[in-house]
Structure formats: structure tokens, C-alpha cells
Amino acid sequence: MNCVPMSSFVMPRRLFSTRGLWFMRQFVFAFLVVLMILPAMSVHAQGKHVAIYVNDTFEVVALNPVTGEQRILITLDSPGDRTRAYGLHVSPDGTMLALFTRTSDFTLPDEDVHLYIVRIADSQLLFDLDLLPAEYIFPADTPLRDPNYEMTRAIGEVVWSPDSRYLAFISGHLGNADVFAYDAAAQTLLQVNNAPQTAAFIHWAPDSKTLVFNEVITFGTGSGDEIAGTYFASLESGVVQPITFPDERIQQFFVLGWLDTQTLLYSPLNFLVGANGIFALNLANGTTSTLLPYEMEITVPVFDPATRALAFVVPDVGVEQGLVKGAYLFPQGAATPTFLQSGQFYFAQLVRPGFFQYASSNGNFLLDVNNPQLIPLPTSDFGAFVSPSADAVALFRTDGVYLSSLGTDNATLVLPGEIQVPIWSPDGNFFYSFGFTSEGGGLLQFDAINRAVHLIDSRMAITSPIAVASQ
């Protein structure tokens, strides 16, 4: 595999830290209890699909739920049963799977961290790379700011480009944690940067030719990441340039999305609430526009590329600076956000283009951007998971898993007990999870139309992630 260096310079990793603080506690609470964006949202919204998971003999399987056909995509080497798949990342066009694996602990010198790229249609292995240097020994302690240690915390980040041509990822195989991009069309590997510090937090522009990323000094232990700088890189020209923010208070930020190929939407990190304001940065000329002032403390806004609307909430712990605590929608072209409802809201999430879901202490709500009113979802105790088609919802209640149509509360109990977070099919007719039925445990398929559940593979590993790919 050819590796083409793009430039030499320096750079950062996570645009936010997953430590302590109210914001992250609420994020984890909402992730586990309320809702999550599903991997299936990254592929087509209609059509046939396969469910992808790892079975109990370390085979990565693509299962056709209609025919029952199982195709082994790759068999993982797992000495001592210590290798685990920590990510199944389907390309947006549904043709390729990026699989990130690492061993169960970092105490032995023979540990490795691998990235595989497999073509789903014929199980052809396209790319295989150990993300750590040869003979690498994991540090026995946690020396913060030591690039050799911080590298172990950065590797594993993988992001497909919107057009599915490139997979960008962090790798330390050359000695530093740098950004690389695998070109699936040319079957070559590009080295995006070469820096002594740790790269992280990769974001693609809509043109699939431009990357934004950070360089991190340390990910810290609870007070946040220490960022050295922010950069954008052009894969076409090989040029890597630093991004300068006009406000010195901006050290870490969330990339919300892109208004166009040159205009980046972002919110500075607020460790208590989530974010400070909303801004647009033009990478071509360096100018910044303020959509919402820095002083506005809000949860991390969610951007819908289809309607270019933003959704966010002002939580109870935030400082009111002209915004009442509650739920908001910021339509495209509006001068100010639209206030929707007051109350104890946790955050908003994009369900599908044009539809947001808001989580609150009084339940979950669905909002159609074209008809901006909060519509209550059926009641749930532990979470409401809306389908990608936005016409069905899975409800986690104390006595089991229910399925219901939106706009009604005619929920049907389909499985007593608990399951893991559901992964919806692209068409919204099914979702998948690990759980137990009277027939045993394994991969379950829930039928949202007929409101039924089926055990379709009892060999699924309980620790396996699940992905869905359109075919």
C-alpha cells in the first residue's frame, strides 16, 4: 500500500472531553435512556439491507434478514479470545465496512490495534493496517502530555467521507498519532499530516476533499483536553493550514456541520452545559459570523444539512442570557432562534432529514421542521427510539420493549425484559438488538409493521456492535 505524505506540520484530538461535569452526565444519561443517532442513518433511507455483527467465533457476519443468508466478511485473529470489535462503520453508499479492533487490555507487549476495510458484496479485504508501531509496548502508567501515551487514547477514530471514497482515521503506525486517509478508488493511503503531537477530531467537508481536525497536547483526566491548534487540509492540493479563531476564549469546539464546502458551523465547548453560542467560519477568507453570541449557554446544537436548521435546548443549569430555559429551533436564514417550549430539556437529536427529537423530563417530543410544533411521543420509562422513516417508535418501559406508531399511543408489548440500544434498518421497518426470547439469546430482529420479534442468530457475541448496510 502506497503512503503519500501530504505535508509536515503540527496538530489536535477530541473536540470535547468525556469527563465529569453536568453536560457529560446528561449526555450519557440521554444516550442510554432517551435516544441515540443510529448507524443506519449514514446509509440510504430505503431498500434492502444486511445486518452486520460479530459472532461467538470472531467472524464478522453480514446477514440478509429476508433470505437468512449469512456471509462471513472477515474472521478476526483473537489470541486468547482477547480481540474485540469496537466499531463497525459502514460507508455512506453501503458498499464497504471499516472495522476497528483492539485487544481487551493493554498490559501485554504483543497487543495490537487494527483497522480493516472490507467490501461487503464479496467479502474482499481492501485494507489492513496495525495502527500502532511494531513492537509497541503500552505505557505502564498514564504520563499525561507524553505523545507516546496520548497516541493510545487517540487511535480508533475513523470517519467516512460523504462520497464514500475516503476513510479518514488516526494512526500511530509511523510513530506519531497522525491523520491518514485511505483512498478506496485509488487503493492508496494518504498521510494528511506529520506532527509530534496527537491528532484527533476529524470532520469532513461536504465536498469529500477537505478535512478539519485538531492537535492535542493531552486529553487530560477530567478538566478537558489541552488543544494545541485546529487545522484544515485539502486532499487535492496537500495544503494543511491552521484555523485562527477571533475569540481567544475558543480553545475546544464542536463541529456542527457545513453551510457549504467552505463555511463551517461550530460551537465552542462549555464544560458545564455543552456549548457557548453558534458561529460560522468561512475557511476561504477566515471571516467569522455570529449566529448566537458566545454568552448564550446551550446544549450542543444539532444541524440538519437538508433543511439547514439547528436544534438545541437551554437546560436548567445554564445561565440565562436572553434565552428562556427550554427547547429551541433555529431555522435557516432566521435572525434569532424560535422558542418552542419551556421546561427541563436535556438535548435535541436529528432523527432523519427534517425531523428532530427533543428529550425532556416530561418525555420525548418529535418536531417537523416544516411544521415546528413539539408533538409528544408515546410514553416510555427508559427511552423512545424513533425510526428513520419517522413513523414508528420503539419504547423501553419497565416491563419490556414496545412498538408504536407515531401520533398514537397504541403501543404493543413485543418483548418482556430488556435489550441493548436498537439499530434501525434504513427503511424503518425493522430494528436489531442483542436480547433474549423464550428461544434463547442472540441477534433479535423487531418487525415494526407486524409488531413481532424474531431470534435470527443465537451465535451473535454479546459484546458485538451492530451495523446495518443498504444493498
Is pLDDT of 384 > 50?
A: yes
Confidence of residue 230 (pLDDT cuts 50, 70, 90): confident
Mean pLDDT over the full length of the chain: 82
| 230, β-bridge pairs | 214
Q: How far is CA 162 from the centre of its chain?
A: 14
pLDDT at 317: 64
User: How far is the CA of 319 from the CAs of 223, 296, 341, in angstroms?
Assistant: 20, 8, 17
Give Dmax (Cα) for the chain. 62
Confidence of residue 469 (pLDDT cuts 50, 70, 90): very high
pLDDT at 93: 96
Read off the pLDDT of residues 365-382 as tens digits, 9 standing for 90 and up: 999 999 999 999 988 888
For the record, the C-alpha cell of 350 comes out as 436529528
pLDDT at 320: 57
pLDDT at 242: 87
Query: In this structure, are residues 441 and 451 in contact, taking their beta carbons and an 8 Å threshold?
Result: no
Give the contacts of 365 (CB within 8 A, at least 6 positions apart): 327, 341, 357, 358, 374, 375, 376, 377
Please give the Cα distance from 469 to 454 (Å, whole number): 19
Mean pLDDT across 30-43: 34
Query: In this structure, are residues 57 and 48 in contact, taking their beta carbons and an 8 Å threshold?
Result: no
pLDDT at 29: 34
CB atoms within 10 A of CB 275: 25
Is pLDDT of 303 > 70?
A: yes
Confidence of residue 443 (pLDDT cuts 50, 70, 90): very high
